[in-house]
Structure 1
Amino acid sequence: MGSCCVLLAVPMIKEAESALRTMSKDLHPTTKSGFVRVMLPAIEDALRAGHTSKAVWQRLHQQNPALGYKEFCVYLGRLRKRAHQPTAFRSEEKAPTVTPTQVSHTSLPEFDPLANLRRAEADRPGFYYRGTEDLHELVYGTKKIHGK
């Protein structure tokens, strides 16, 4: 019974894969975010050429009137943020294999949740009074020993 399911599954997988490949070649997305995603290289070129995002949106709005300026800016921001994140590898490409010996634990910085606070306090200009410190230590440079 298990072998017949495997025989039926292989053609179904190939059909689904070919359907997805033809879908990926279609440049007419059904969503507004898909439209911006398809147009992203042209949008980036226009912005690098010195056009404003409003002017770019006006041109795109002629092609897709349902796309509002605020939505355009939101989609553009999301796509730019996503562009900085690594994506999955295609099945034809081989993912770089990382062995445990290649990763060194010394290269990874230790997580410090208060690092930004320490950095801000170290760079603080002017006088800063810390009321929790001992007065004798601050004024005289000596520690007061309790009990004596």
Structure 2
Amino acid sequence: MSQSKYTFLIKLAEDKQAAAAERMRQAQAKALEAMNRQEQLENFRDEYRGRLTSGGMKGMSIAQWQDFQKFLGRLDEAVRIQQGDTEFAKQRFIMERQAWRNEHKKLKAYEKLLEREREREQQAQARREQKATDEFATRRFWDQTHGED
């Protein structure tokens, strides 16, 4: 059987799917990293807020309380920024996953076309073989009935 026109397309689709899978893997890793960073920032902010509360109960100067409040404000801002980064990373992962799915669908479509082409070739070969068998049987019958001497 000769090489199909779909073989080249399948190879290209496999390469594109592999590249999309790698981009998806990287996007997933970045999303997980961003989520972990956000969780760490939130935990640190909560710890710091707890220290402010316990320090306030023990008594602290106005300057210390203002420093705590400033730093807490910076932590809140860092958490807000990280939430945006995390959301962006999640959306990027979703986009890359969809790109991989699209490439996967293309690959499966080309594979299905190749399968159908091979089935058509097999059917054509079977018809040729049947025709050859029929012709041989017809010649043999002809030869037997008309006596070839």
Larger radius of gyration: 2
Q: TM-score, normalised by structure 1?
A: 0.27
Q: TM-score, normalised by structure 2?
A: 0.27
